[in-house]
Amino acid sequence: MKAAVVGGGIGGLTAAIALRLAGHEVTVLERAPELREIGAGLSLAPNALRALDALGVGDRVRAHAAASGVTGNLRTSSGRYLRRFRAGRDEPLAAFHRGELHRVLLEELPEDVVRPGTEVRDASEVDADLVVAADGVHSGLRRQLFPAAPGPVFRYTAWRGVTEPGSVWPAEGCFTNGRGAYFMVHPLPGKRVCWALGAAADTPGVRYPDEQAEVTRRVAGWHRPIPELLAATVPETVLHNDILDLEPLDAFVLDRVALLGDAAHAVVPDLGQGACQAIEDAVVLAAALRTEPDVPAALAAYDRERRKRAAYITRTARSKGVANVSTAWWMPVLLGALVPLMPASVIRRQTEPIWGWSPPSP
């Protein structure tokens, strides 16, 4: 079967790997003239790593990751630990520089599979039995296929950056809650550290002449090493993005087209599941094409398998995001009182529906 993947991000490349592994002829069509992933850091949870293991690339991916204890190290803006990471109780995440994870996936594909500088405005332009729309949160193919579906919704604003190698090291993964904002830290390979500040905002698109200075202003007085991390980041590399998500769609498929990743179910980053869910999509889609008799039946199975889970992840992440950037004075107080008392069994029950997912059997 001929399959075309529209979009060469993490989800699109994973889909191409999975489809080629299933025996299909695959082309990746990427609008950008050069195929590269911009960004800072991201993490993959156990569910995504299992999916990559199913594709035979898990170990190669892990070789480019650092273990982050962000799930266990929870702090207040003053620096007080509400919870400390404990091996055997808390699950570390695999933290990557986004560009390096992208490169590892790209290296799994023959060079002639990927065609940069190729824009697809309409699925009818594509000569393929299957079209995978992995063209991101602002997906043009989603708008074409489902013109009545609501577009992305602004939730809050966020800055991200990566320190210069060795400038602030060692560093632990941690998550800090403050009033109206959070600050997240992941160690990266190469003695680098990625950080993110998420903050409540009423209006999308607001930008600042000096984004690093704006971040520094917003976290003035927060605990170490936050000031050091900001000072060790080249100002021109600080990214400022609106955080968006999508309301659950009524379908992820239409005719021979399947939406995948952010094109289907963009999610706020508060569960760390954006890339993870795109990777899950890719593995489930390839499995459905192996087990179903034809493309329509496979896409129907993919739709059934993915939509309910994606809606759950989207809503759960959104709820957590609302709490993480809440401007209510009592929210940090409430977290400070409840988090230290929360038993590990409760946390496991919260994470199991997300991290406990396993890919379909071959």
The answer on pLDDT for 38 being more than 80 is no
pLDDT in tens, 66-96: 999 999 999 999 999 999 999 989 999 999 9
**Domain limits for position 141:** 2-355
Mean pLDDT of 199-209: 98
User: Is the pLDDT at 275 greater than 80, yes or no?
Assistant: yes
Q: How far apart are CA 319 and CA 67, in angstroms?
A: 26
Q: What is the pLDDT of residue 191?
A: 98
Task: Give the full edge-to-edge strand order of the sheet including 93-97.
Answer: 41-44, 93-97, 66-68
What does the pLDDT look like over 297-353, one tens digit per residue? Answer: 999 999 999 999 999 999 999 999 999 999 999 999 999 999 999 999 999 999 999
Residue 345 CB burial class (10 angstroms; 0-12, 13-18, ≥19): exposed
* Mean confidence (pLDDT) of the chain: 96
**Is 361 a member of any domain?**
no
- How many Å apart are CA 335 and CA 173, to the nearest integer? 19
State the CB neighbour count (10 A cutoff) for residue 47: 22
pTM of the shown model = 0.97
Three-state DSSP class for residue 121? coil
* pLDDT given for residue 291 in this prediction: 95
Question: What gap in Å lies between CA 138 and CA 151, rounded to an integer?
Answer: 8
- At 39 the pLDDT is 81
pLDDT category, 35, cuts 50, 70, 90? confident
Per the domain annotation, does 97 fall within a domain?
yes
Q: Give strand pairing partners of 83.
A: 74
First to last CA, the chain: 19
Residue 360 forms part of a structural domain:
no
Task: Give 96-143 pLDDT, tens digit per residue.
Answer: 999 999 999 999 999 999 999 999 999 999 999 999 999 999 999 999
pLDDT score at 303: 98
pLDDT for the residue 34: 86
Q: Residue 36 — pLDDT band, cuts 50, 70, 90? A: confident
pLDDT confidence band for 226 (50 / 70 / 90): very high
Query: What are the structure tokens assigned to 352, written together?
Result: 């199991």
Name the residue among 17, 47, 12, 13 with its Cα closest to residue 351: 47
Rounded Cα–Cα distance for residues 122 and 138 (Å): 14
Instruction: Say which CATH number the domain at 42 has.
Output: 3.50.50.60
In a domain, 362, yes or no: no
Give mean pLDDT, residues 272-298. 97
Radius of gyration of the chain (CA): 20
Q: Would 110 be classed as within a structural domain?
A: yes
- Cα 199 from Cα 343, distance rounded (Å): 28
Measure the CA dihedral 71/138/199/239, to 10°.
90
State the total domains in the chain: 1
Q: Tell me, what's the pLDDT at 228?
A: 98
Whole-angstrom distance, CA of residue 199 vs CA of residue 196: 10
Residue recorded with tokens 């830290």: 185
Confidence grade of residue 55 (pLDDT, cut at 50, 70, 90): very high
